[in-house]
Structure 1
Amino acid sequence: MEETMNFAIIGTGAVGGYYGGLLCRHGFEVHFLLRGDYVHVQEKGLTIDSKDGSFRLKQVNAYCRASDMPRCDVVIVALKTTANDRLAGILPHVVKPGGVVVALQNGLGVEKTIQEIVPDATVIGGLCFLCSNKIGPGHIHHLDFGSVRLGQYRADGAAAGITPELRQVADAFSAAGISVDLAEDLALARWQKLVWNMAFNGVTVVLNATTDQLMADPSALALVRGIMEEVVAGARACGHPLDENFIEIMIAATKNMVAYRPSMMLDFEAGRELEVEEIYRLPISMAAAAGVAMPRSETIALQLEFLDRRNRG
């Protein structure tokens, strides 16, 4: 993809702010949609503190209304899935005819939602392996990792393979210094990511513990491993076979990770709605329909729902 192609970032937080900032820093035209941070970012720009080198974008294209944004070749959706009801009022304004929408979101079902809103767009799912937090208005702190796995969506759930659109987006990300891996089968890649997300996002909230604390305690680690085993079984029942050693790969990667508070833990601490539906409920129901129960995951989901309701009043 040539650098004359432009990008829209929908959700300028820990994910969108970081990757959008990198694209902007490396010469791409990037337009950022913001809410509470709009005035700050418009006046003072974006600040990215990163283990790979910090930088500040003094002037960025900032907007508080999608209707004011130009139509873009690539629209990156980095909202929490709990805000996806806003997309119907956003995407038709910013996606260029024949454009691409990249969903950098957790869980299952996000691409289907986007495709229904912009049926003529190419929809790509993105799985972020990133430790990044938003620590203030227009201020992102990148702690560790940073790679993205991209796969093209097909409504029938089949593997789309490596398409030209997928390669174009990957080339742009690579040019911006983002490590990219391409997945021929997006549905399989989504289940692979769930092995980590279902094991750690909710458990950090329920046990009020960071990833390193979970890894250091034998009981917590046994719970994490048990949830991972359920996700692998559910994925296989749904036609997405995961290797036995994938669990050990995820455990090893987490042990080597900096002490981290996942996004769900940060959302809980900030009193924001938790992403229970896409990360837990949909996978659990899909596995159940295929004949596999996920009792540990179900228990975590019930606890999260209770804590979320109480936390938000």
Structure 2
Amino acid sequence: MKIVIMGAGAVGSYYGGVFKRNGIDVTLINRGKHHEAIINNGLNIRSFWGDYNVDVNASNKTSNLGTFDVVFLTTKLYSNQEAIKQLSNLCSDKTIIITIQNGVSSYEELSKFFDSANIIPAATYIEAEIISPGTILQKGSSVVIEIGEIDGNFSERLNNIKNKLSFEELEINISKDIKASLWKKMISVGAFGTIMTSFRSSFGEIISSMYGEEVLRGTMNEILEIGKLDGVNLNDVDIDKVVHGLKEESDSITSSMQQDLTNSKPLEIDNILGHVVVLSKKYNYPTPFSTTLVSSLQKFKEG
């Protein structure tokens, strides 16, 4: 299985490091100082499962690499327009594109340009950051990718991906309802990630503040209700359990959006919680917590 990871920042580079360490043929597409460091010194991974360096293929171009069996699309959502143009260089008519991005609708955008039969939506749960060019720090005792067919059916290709690409340091699960999986991630990460960014605070600081947990729960409930209005089956979501689980992992929780704000990079706010606010207008359902959070970050979204 020949794999390319498009937009290999913190998350994509971690995947690439795991794949390479376990003998998978993988290429990273990235740029800037992170790319240069990988080319010159290899990719350093510091993780729950140990620290290691791998000599992994990396490129800042897609034009001369040929096609791949599987593309992991891990670019920021605001880079999709540029990324989609380059994806055609990497894909044959049989290439599987796995979209591992924030939000709930990136696979729909991608299907405007590629055969939807070749697209597998995915949700990932990982705490990772680039602590210096070429070095990824992963936190927490689990890294999970959930994959699923858009129509909800089981397929042999899902099982094949799970069997070939699951390792101790990266668990791949098959979702029976990937749309629900994406919304469940939005309820969790879309809420706390945006709040951490808006508040310029750690998760622990938010929870221990006077009204922090109220804001968290209020935002989560708004996302939950909008998802239901959008036709997604979220009846098994228990906000109490979600919050309890987050509290248990409090020390390892990070927010990529908060990291982008700190580094004066563009924010994905319009495609994450902003998408929820847009849908709230469509369904005429009030979302005061979400609307306030999105508004608080608007002037920073261009970087």
Which category of TM-score, normalised to the shorter sequence, fits these structures?
over 0.9
Q: Percent identity?
A: 22
1:223 is aligned, of 215, 224, 234, to 215
Residue 138 (structure 2) pairs with residue 150 (structure 1): no
Residue 66 (structure 2) pairs with residue 70 (structure 1): yes
Residue type matched to 1:12 in 2? Answer: A
What residue number does 1:294 align with?
Answer: 287
The superposition leaves residues 40-74 of structure 1 with CA deviations (integer Å, 9 ceiling, x where unpaired) of 211211000001111110x2111111112221100
Between 162-171 and 97-106, report the one with greater CA deviation: 162-171
1:280 is aligned, of 273, 286, 289, to 273
Question: How far 1:239 moved relative to its partner?
Answer: 1.6
Question: How far 1:245 moved relative to its partner?
Answer: 5.0
Q: Are 2:191 and 2:273, in contact at CA under 8 Å, matched by a contact in 1?
A: no
2:79 is aligned, of 78, 83, 87, to 83
Residue type matched to 2:156 in 1? Answer: P
The superposition leaves residues 197-249 of structure 1 with CA deviations (integer Å, 9 ceiling, x where unpaired) of 23111111111111111122241011000001111111111122324652122
Any unmatched runs of 5+ in structure 1?
Answer: 154-158
Give the paired residue count: 300
Question: How far 1:166 moved relative to its partner?
Answer: 1.8
Q: How far apart, CA to CA, are the structure 2 residues paired with 1:90 and 1:121?
A: 19
1:93 is aligned, of 89, 92, 95, to 89
Residue type matched to 2:152 in 1? Answer: A
What residue number does 1:116 align with?
Answer: 112
Question: How far 1:176 moved relative to its partner?
Answer: 6.7
Secondary structure, in 3 states, of the residue corresponding to 1:116?
coil
Any unmatched runs of 5+ in structure 2?
Answer: none
Residue 25 (structure 2) pairs with residue 29 (structure 1): yes
The superposition leaves residues 169-219 of structure 1 with CA deviations (integer Å, 9 ceiling, x where unpaired) of 222221474212211222111111111123111111111111111122241
TM-score (norm 1): 0.90
Aligned-residue CA RMSD (Å): 1.8
1:271 is aligned, of 260, 264, 280, to 264
* 1:240-251 equivalent positions in 2, closer than 5 A: 240-243=232-235, 246-251=238-243
Secondary structure, in 3 states, of the residue corresponding to 2:253?
coil
Question: How far 1:263 moved relative to its partner?
Answer: 0.4
Question: How far 1:284 moved relative to its partner?
Answer: 2.2
Q: How far apart, CA to CA, are the structure 1 residues paired with 2:143 and 2:276?
A: 25
Secondary structure, in 3 states, of the residue corresponding to 2:31?
coil
Q: How far apart, CA to CA, are the structure 1 residues paired with 2:37 and 2:299?
A: 35
